[in-house]
Structure 1
Amino acid sequence: MSVDLNHTIVHSRDAREAAEFFTRLLGLEITGEWGPFIAVALGNGVTLDFATVPEDTITPQHYAFLVSEEEFTAAYAQIEQRGIEHYADPRRTRPGTVNHNDGGRGVYFMDPSGHAMELITVPYGGWGA
């Protein structure tokens, strides 16, 4: 049997706000709600289960998403239209632009709960890695 990631819980100041921020940006849908969780399914079957927790208990995490060129273009348009602060690099030294690492495009930004989000169109090391 292979081992696959099934879901992860994303601690949020407001689960609905965080899930809707994410779904609007990437053109996804909320796929389930149970107990304190609001789930968003990704293309590979993994779900992000957003949960509201006290703000002082949120440890910022990094979430990177491999997207198509078309999805990146649409999401980046949303980032610009919504005035979301974004960077070409994780240290946030290149504001307002994207990177072209490994022959693709990438961008970093924060979600409403302070998690670092990254969109890339080519995996690290390129497609041959």
Structure 2
Amino acid sequence: TELQEIAPKEFEGRIKRQGVVNALDDEDFAAAVRETGRKKLIIAGVTNDVCTVYPTLTALQLGYDVQVVADAGGSPTKMADDIAIRRMENAGATITSTVQLLAELAENWTSERGGKIIPFVMGLMPQQ
């Protein structure tokens, strides 16, 4: 897979869970999140109306500050996607896009960090 090629060590260390709708209901996954010691989470999933919404709602209830990368996932319909995004936002999540998040992480395109991130941003921009 692409992730295995891009980040082989991280891919090998991923939490494998079977059929659990809410990732934070999986004890191995929840423990891995807790063990980071971080209180700010960035969440994205394959589908916003299942994979993203439930761990986001749980994380918010547990006191995490959550940013949801809404355009990194989708839902079977636009209505389902809109409802999931609205539900997460109403619960207190910050809704963002991939490029917004990368810009926030870069802080300054001329910095060392910004220089490392900008190729990803350029790869996401539509080609004319």
Instruction: Give the structure-2-normalised TM-score.
Output: 0.29
Q: Which has a greater percent of helix? A: 2
Q: Which structure has the greater CA radius of gyration?
A: 2
Q: Which has a greater percent of strand? A: 1
